[in-house]
Structure 1
């Protein structure tokens, strides 16, 4: 524990680092820097973006004059980054969730979230154990953070149609992004006004009542540029009790009153109403994977999952109910309003200030408890970037100061059966303030025409001050206990990288970097019983990662990327479920290791033909973790060292091959076949229960044509059959806690875990979706 003054000193030391950049004299344009882009999949708007990059204009939606500095996250040198564009992922297919888009990047794992298009995304398996909120990564949109200061990111607000590119940063990234970036980061880039240049309307419709209506409008007029995206998406869902309805608005606007001043406005608003289906046990999944025929517990079909709700909502006997009888649902809203001012101090130096407000409001009466909360947060960030020379060598240096805070007011209730989403007794009340204050500095130095070195450093103090009052009701009355947290964490994250690029078609990169993630307020107030309580001893999760990789073009049209990584974790966060319907709880595993290989390929082998490959091998094991289990008066300890970490598949693959007619009467017609495959993985610390792997086949056909003689300029038509072979597979599995036999003290075996409900969502069955878009 360190005082605030320690973080202030660290921040001001970082702030003073521009003095070291004062010798940067000669201007250096973006085109002259050595930028390593691992694998880019680009699509609509690529010519405009490439022209902007060549002129040195910023890449995140702000039109600036030549020489203006790009944002620091715009493909920085030495990072392990995949740029996923629109072609094959968004522009010519019905992209129903952002997860299907991000699978084009090696290292990304997708899990179905809690209702609607909510997905849980992990990078290098760092969040693969989660089944609700995404953590262990930082998410930005157009340079503005959409990860709240408690480390939580949700993807309900993300409609893929709004984006032109998504950069996936893999590996520890706290020197560049600060707190929570142990797995990496996602940088979303919305389409700018000049990319849209008009307006578009589209509609997608498909199986299980899926309907998406959306439009985009954008353009440039003098110093103003604006793009606006809006959508309304609804579906009945492929599982019983899984219908949803969500609306999204996404605005990006800029104003450039003079060559050296630029202003940007960002607004996102999303509302989601979603029914939540039941998570089943593995045994129930095999009987009734989609939980159909489960309207009522008394007449439920075999394999239906039920949850025991307290009959009076407070204490005593429980009543089994299905998801429909319990009216499990989510009603959430997210609103982000942010702005940025950029000023060119001179031809080589750019200064930015950005501020934002982010409100997350949730009402989630599902399973045995109901959570309600309001989490308003705000952030302030300023950075200085200078391009030129240092000791006579071309260099780019930057320094950043940032502060963010979230004010938490949350409550947890028991659920009561029947009569809709009825609440029972109050069982938890949380009030907390979580904040982060720190600074980061980065230097890219061209040692020689073929060699570039990178050094980065971040320091940040995070604090959690709050309390949780737990209420217990019996026939004699209601009592309460109080858990308080006053925790401060000071973390430092260095980074070093070296890139060797002998020619434009070949590069070798090495990187060593660190990451850290402090506990969230919510994890501190849920104990091992899965109920509100005291868990305030959680420590900071830290990792040290080594990357070695190469990017090259062995043949014309073939781009290959190969990366090996080895990461050492200290106090890794592990989250699991203690039982059906209970809250997930988090603990620290003292030491673990993540090691693997990532392969990306993009091959246009003959005119019209294209293949895409994204493969990840990820081996994660505990190296120091002794787990204590208790049942009644019995307690036992189990050494988990050498066991695989739950929730992480060792192998996953996306492979796509397609053909687009390059010329002639059928130009614009194309299609592709795609295989998505994943290895099975354990879902408990003892490695007793493993969910099976899967491989699914998707087929796509699309057509695009210019319309020269009509009001519309262009038409896009597309259709897709997903999971063509109608494979039944596990789409999400909540890791389960191992248990003891209360009579013998022995660890319960695989059969007990396979019968534990509250874990599994099935993946979608065979699904057809088609759509069209008109551009004006």
Structure 2
């Protein structure tokens, strides 16, 4: 365990022996940078799909969020060392504008020893730019297809005793799917002040407001007919393949009527505010003590389908840890220990959406009030027992308390009925780990690691039935995993760097979610008793002609991710029948088994064209299953992107302060699936399972990706 950049206030924990990949600003700063996807696309082991909104990208590490419809799940997410994941495991990427960041680090595989609950697939830390690096004022604009326009400003100053970065952006667009117009604004600030030679204060502030109209997720059949929902504004005149939602005419019970997203006024209006403060104290040159507190409020107003969700989620996170670098004879020993406590309280209401338009609320569908808190401790030793060898051992544990009550409202001509469901669940999980690192020379580093992790269900998981309606699902258990990583970093010769990791992870009670359709309130979550994740991650950067063409590079990342059920029997009901089906050996749906990114880059290092550069990028995703029976696939795709940019050299004087670029995405205008949630299988009247043709009509799954788009941008530094 080391502390990265504590003098600058980052203080990001990097667990020794854990597979870690990073992306620096140079890989995403010269392009449009619409979302977090632009930051992580070059990182092995990381994939992404479209979530619910313009920047709500579902980022996955080794498939962590491939089975989710929004946010970053089964990960602990941090920014400059401050937590962005709330105590219920929810993190969203809406608040991330890539223009504000210096880089991102991804710690892959089981990581609960250090990062606690929900770090079952790893952790991600986003690093904002420092004031010293910015050293002035930057103004920028991005603009392009579908009415996208982003205005942003960055202010930064720094010295020995302080460092200040302030960032703000406002981005708007019409979207490329009907009813996907959006506006989102973000403010981000970090201030470091050195109080004394041994004491530092770091203040962090993030605020995001997202106002977005939202289309409905499609069935595969609808996607094939009308991926961008053209001609679908009015249900009565809707063209083939249009998605509609059935809304209660009186907002409470009885007859329903079909309405398009435009007619219903479906969308999201969300606000997220994070304020954090950290005090770092050096007892001496070898020992640092950190104390940190973060307040995080997420307030949602989401009429996304037949129901509208409203409510605040307030969370509080406090932690204290000590890192000591000591000598043990002729060897070095790094000791890390810490405790943490986080608490979430919430009170949310769900209303039926009426056909009146403008997301008008009808009767109260349900209310949910409750809390979740996690109390954790962690300890790790990193012993460099020989010049070329490190050994790491650690142990972390968390006690979690989930308590909530849900009131369900049903209506009829006779009146209103209220049913209450109470959940009081307690979990205790431990996560030991061990790693061995061998670096025989500067060109080789080998690592082996056995890690463990856990993730408790959330209160929202406990109240949705297999039919996608509110009800009792309070029996869920924690999911746990044990994973083995074997990896190597190799620098065989000048101009070539390689990273490779193989992983094999064993899961118990894995939490898997699936959609029951657009006319339901939410996705259903269940435990799969046993499953396995195994795969390979490869990363490479190569300058093939270092002397003849020094500005030319090839950057490659590839991941193979094979995830299967090894013990899971699914019980399906319908038409008065109930049948059990063994899913052992089936692929876990939603997980993309192969994904590759290849960039061919060139930057002119000198001469009259110095500063001119660009790249050609190929992104490939293979097809993947959408259901537990493995009968319906989401089709794979390959995209080609182009980018050209110009950074004038210093010899041109004030012109050096300008930067400009142009980018073409999806050059071949490919129609593709950008995001697909899992769907439930169907039991037919004869007791058999429905085939692919029927499953292709199951709604609530697919968002199309962007057709060909052209963007440009300018930035000036003062």
**TM-score normalised according to structure 1 size:** 0.90
User: Which range is displaced more, 563-572 or 298-307?
Assistant: 298-307
Whole-angstrom CA distance in 1 between matches of 2:571 and 2:224: 31
What does residue range 369-768 of structure 1 map to in structure 2 within 5 Å?
Answer: 369-390=307-328, 392-582=330-520, 583-605=522-544, 606=546, 607-706=550-649, 714-741=657-684, 743-768=685-710
Whole-angstrom CA distance in 1 between matches of 2:142 and 2:210: 18
Measure how far apart 1:346 and its partner are.
1.3
Task: Find the residue that maps to 1:757 and give its secondary structure.
Answer: coil
Measure how far apart 1:579 and its partner are.
1.9
Task: Find the residue that maps to 1:738 and give its secondary structure.
Answer: coil
Task: Find the residue that maps to 1:685 and give its secondary structure.
Answer: coil
What does residue range 120-519 of structure 1 map to in structure 2 within 5 Å?
Answer: 120-221=58-159, 223-390=161-328, 392-519=330-457
What's the CA shift string for 1:93-135, capped at 9, x where partnerless? 1111111220111111101010111111111012101112321
RMSD: 1.4
Whole-angstrom CA distance in 2 between matches of 1:71 and 1:338: 13
The match for 1:44 is none
Q: Does 1:63 align with 2:3?
A: no
Whole-angstrom CA distance in 1 between matches of 2:37 and 2:415: 47
The match for 2:55 is 117
2:15 and 2:114 in contact (8 A); partners too: no
What's the CA shift string for 1:12-60, capped at 9, x where partnerless? xxxxxxxxxxxxxxxxxxxxx9x8xxxxxxxxxxxxxxxxxxxxx9526
Whole-angstrom CA distance in 2 between matches of 1:419 and 1:495: 54
User: Which range is displaced more, 745-754 or 423-432?
Assistant: 745-754
Task: Find the residue that maps to 1:705 and give its secondary structure.
Answer: coil
Measure how far apart 1:308 and its partner are.
0.8
Task: Find the residue that maps to 2:344 and give its secondary structure.
Answer: strand
Q: Does 1:105 align with 2:51?
A: no
Whole-angstrom CA distance in 1 between matches of 2:504 and 2:4: 33
Q: Does 1:95 align with 2:59?
A: no
User: Which range is displaced more, 372-381 or 411-420?
Assistant: 411-420
Whole-angstrom CA distance in 1 between matches of 2:133 and 2:113: 32
**TM-score normalised according to structure 2 size:** 0.97
What's the CA shift string for 1:690-734, capped at 9, x where partnerless? 011000000010100146676675111111100000000000111
Task: Find the residue that maps to 2:647 and give its secondary structure.
Answer: strand
1:326 and 1:366 in contact (8 A); partners too: no
Task: Find the residue that maps to 2:366 and give its secondary structure.
Answer: strand
The match for 1:40 is none
Whole-angstrom CA distance in 2 between matches of 1:86 and 1:710: 24
1:93 and 1:700 in contact (8 A); partners too: yes
The match for 1:86 is 25
Task: Find the residue that maps to 2:8 and give its secondary structure.
Answer: coil
Whole-angstrom CA distance in 1 between matches of 2:160 and 2:488: 43
Task: Find the residue that maps to 1:346 and give its secondary structure.
Answer: coil
1:706 and 1:715 in contact (8 A); partners too: no
Measure how far apart 1:663 and its partner are.
0.6
Task: Find the residue that maps to 1:189 and give its secondary structure.
Answer: strand
User: Which range is displaced more, 255-264 or 572-581?
Assistant: 572-581
Whole-angstrom CA distance in 1 between matches of 2:715 and 2:598: 26
Whole-angstrom CA distance in 1 between matches of 2:467 and 2:267: 23
Task: Find the residue that maps to 1:258 and give its secondary structure.
Answer: coil
User: Structure 1 197/713 Cα, relative in aligned 2: closer, same or farther at 3 Å?
Assistant: farther
Whole-angstrom CA distance in 2 between matches of 1:182 and 1:166: 19
User: Structure 1 199/708 Cα, relative in aligned 2: closer, same or farther at 3 Å?
Assistant: farther
Measure how far apart 1:260 and its partner are.
0.3
Measure how far apart 1:745 and its partner are.
2.9
The match for 1:774 is 716
Whole-angstrom CA distance in 2 between matches of 1:667 and 1:109: 34
Whole-angstrom CA distance in 2 between matches of 1:502 and 1:641: 42
Whole-angstrom CA distance in 1 between matches of 2:11 and 2:189: 19
In structure 2, stretches of 5+ residues that fail to align are: none
Whole-angstrom CA distance in 2 between matches of 1:63 and 1:111: 33
What's the CA shift string for 1:534-567, capped at 9, x where partnerless? 1111100101000001110112111001100000
Measure how far apart 1:442 and its partner are.
1.0
User: Structure 1 396/719 Cα, relative in aligned 2: closer, same or farther at 3 Å?
Assistant: same
Whole-angstrom CA distance in 2 between matches of 1:458 and 1:631: 44
2:489 and 2:500 in contact (8 A); partners too: yes
What's the CA shift string for 1:749-769, capped at 9, x where partnerless? 222210111111001110111
2:516 and 2:700 in contact (8 A); partners too: no
The match for 1:26 is none
Whole-angstrom CA distance in 2 between matches of 1:170 and 1:754: 34
In structure 1, stretches of 5+ residues that fail to align are: 1-32, 36-56, 65-69
Whole-angstrom CA distance in 1 between matches of 2:357 and 2:21: 49
Whole-angstrom CA distance in 2 between matches of 1:711 and 1:672: 26
Whole-angstrom CA distance in 2 between matches of 1:126 and 1:504: 33
1:63 and 1:256 in contact (8 A); partners too: no
2:20 and 2:106 in contact (8 A); partners too: yes
1:432 and 1:467 in contact (8 A); partners too: yes
Whole-angstrom CA distance in 2 between matches of 1:72 and 1:614: 24
2:56 and 2:71 in contact (8 A); partners too: no
Task: Find the residue that maps to 1:688 and give its secondary structure.
Answer: coil
Whole-angstrom CA distance in 2 between matches of 1:526 and 1:412: 13
1:568 and 1:591 in contact (8 A); partners too: yes
Task: Find the residue that maps to 1:612 and give its secondary structure.
Answer: strand
1:335 and 1:358 in contact (8 A); partners too: yes
1:125 and 1:618 in contact (8 A); partners too: yes
Task: Find the residue that maps to 2:591 and give its secondary structure.
Answer: coil
2:443 and 2:490 in contact (8 A); partners too: yes
User: Structure 1 681/63 Cα, relative in aligned 2: closer, same or farther at 3 Å?
Assistant: closer
Measure how far apart 1:665 and its partner are.
1.2
User: Which range is displaced more, 667-676 or 478-487?
Assistant: 478-487
2:593 and 2:622 in contact (8 A); partners too: yes
Measure how far apart 1:418 and its partner are.
2.9
Measure how far apart 1:258 and its partner are.
1.0
The match for 1:51 is none
